[in-house]
Amino acid sequence: MSAHVLRDVEARLAVYERALACRTFDDIESNILTPMSEYVEADTSCFLQFLPDVGDALRIGRSACHNVPAGSHAQYTSHYVRFDPAVEAQILHQTAAANVFCTSEVCDYSDFVRGAFYNEFFQPNRIHHVLVMIMQPDSNSTGRLALGFHRPRTVSAFSDRQKTRVRSLAAVACSVLRGLALQDSLDLRIETVKQLEQAPPETGVLFFDSQLILLSANAKGLEDLQLGRFQRADGGSAKGRLSKVLSACRELQCMRTLDQVVVVQVAPDDDMVASVQASRAPGGELLFTVHTSPPSAESRLDRRCADFGMTRRETDAVRLLRAGLSTKEIASRLFISPRTVENHLRSIYAKAGVNTRAQLLVRVAHDQSSQPSYRRD
User: Which CATH architecture fits 3-183?
Assistant: 2-Layer Sandwich (3.30)
Asked whether the predicted pLDDT for residue 232 surpasses 50, the reply is no
Domains 3-183 and 185-365 share a fold: yes
On whether the pTM is more than 0.85, the answer is no
Kindly tell me if the per-residue pLDDT of 360 is higher than 80.
yes
Spatial CA neighbour of 131 closest among 111, 96, 110, 155: 155
Domain boundaries, the chain: 3-183, 185-365
Give 12-64 pLDDT, tens digit per residue: 999 999 999 999 888 999 999 999 999 999 999 999 988 766 555 667 888 99
Contact call for residues 135 and 174 (beta carbons, < 8 A): yes
Biggest distance spanned by C-alpha atoms of the chain:
88
pLDDT at 175 over 60: yes
Residue 131 Cα distances to 90, 103, 115, 286, 331, angstroms: 12, 7, 19, 30, 41
pLDDT tens profile 266-319: 776 556 788 888 887 766 677 888 988 765 556 678 778 888 999 888 988 998
Q: What are the residue ranges of helices labelled H in the chain?
A: 3-20, 28, 34-40, 70-78, 85-89, 109-112, 116-117, 160-198, 219-224, 240-255, 299-307, 312-322, 327-334, 338-352, 357-365
* pLDDT over threshold 70, residue 234: no
SS3 370: coil
Angle (deg, nearest 10), helices 338-352 and 327-334: 110
Tell me the chain's radius of gyration from C-alpha atoms: 25
CATH architecture, domain 185-365 = 2-Layer Sandwich (3.30)
**DSSP state letters, 184-213:** HHHHHHHHHHHHHHHS-TTSEEEEEETT-B
The pLDDT tens digits of the residues spanning 59-115 come to 788 899 999 998 999 999 989 988 898 887 666 565 556 789 999 998 899 999 999
